[in-house]
């Protein structure tokens, strides 16, 4: 039986803490929502390629290693049934494209766990082959302390170090129970990279 991949959940943890804090005593403004800020760090990529292509949104790899994610303006909607919806719709969020090589069966979190200690000790981090900006959309429904429904996507363009331009899109649509994603990332995460011109 294959172990279920453990996915780093910077945004999940931040959203959960924020939502729980808000439901403890906050009330929506006259606009029907509360304005706040979401700390996030998302990644998307290919599977079983050599090398894989990985998109990091919110910051470069070294900032993920430092648990120092990006931020985006957040709208929080407390609902009458006790659930809380968190929504982000922002533009010009930074994205970074890397070529990454995993061991068989590994995915981005395992790769980060392997390289982050070296980066923390002073090793040079991997260099992205392209950087750019993207539109960020997030929808998180906090059903309970241990049940989240999460959708996020980035859609933008990046320019390579060799001048190549790319259109990129990453998506994730999943359920998180007890702090862990349910299912295989291949089933709930999507990634598309299209070369525009060189």
* pLDDT given at position 30: 54
Q: How far apart are CA 42 and CA 10, in angstroms?
A: 8
Q: Tell me: the pLDDT tens digits for 13-67?
A: 344 444 444 444 444 555 678 888 888 889 898 887 888 899 999 999 999 888 8
Q: Tell me: the pLDDT tens digits for 140-187?
A: 998 887 888 999 999 999 999 999 999 999 999 989 888 788 888 878
Give CA separation, 17 vs 34, 35, 58, 111, 125, in Å: 15, 15, 19, 26, 30
Residue 69 pLDDT exceeds 90: no
Strand residue runs (E) in the chain? 34-40, 42-45, 52-57, 70-78, 84-100, 130-144, 147-160, 165-177, 180-181, 189-197
Q: Tell me: the pLDDT tens digits for 74-91?
A: 999 988 888 889 999 999
Least confident of 108-112, 116-120, 125-129, 159-163: 108-112
């Amino acid at each position: 039986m294959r172990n279920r991949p453990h996915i780093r959940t910077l945004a999940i943890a931040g959203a959960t803490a924020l939502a729980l804090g808000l439901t403890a005593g906050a009330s929506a403004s006259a606009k029907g929502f509360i304005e706040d800020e979401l700390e996030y760090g998302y990644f998307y990529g290919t599977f079983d390629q050599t090398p894989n292509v990985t998109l990091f949104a919110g910051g470069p790899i070294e900032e993920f290693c430092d648990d120092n994610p990006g931020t985006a303006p957040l709208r929080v909607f407390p609902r009458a049934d006790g659930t809380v919806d968190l929504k982000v719709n922002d533009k010009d969020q930074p994205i970074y494209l890397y070529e990454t090589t995993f061991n068989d069966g590994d995915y981005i979190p395992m790769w980060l766990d392997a390289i982050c200690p070296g980066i923390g000790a002073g090793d040079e981090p991997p260099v992205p082959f392209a950087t750019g900006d993207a539109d960020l959309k997030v929808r998180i429904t906090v059903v309970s302390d241990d049940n989240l429904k999460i959708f996020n996507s980035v859609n933008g363009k990046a320019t390579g170090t060799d001048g190549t331009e790319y259109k990129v899109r990453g998506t994730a649509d999943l359920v998180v129970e007890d702090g862990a994603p349910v299912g295989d990332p291949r089933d709930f995460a999507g990634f598309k990279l299209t070369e525009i011109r060189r």
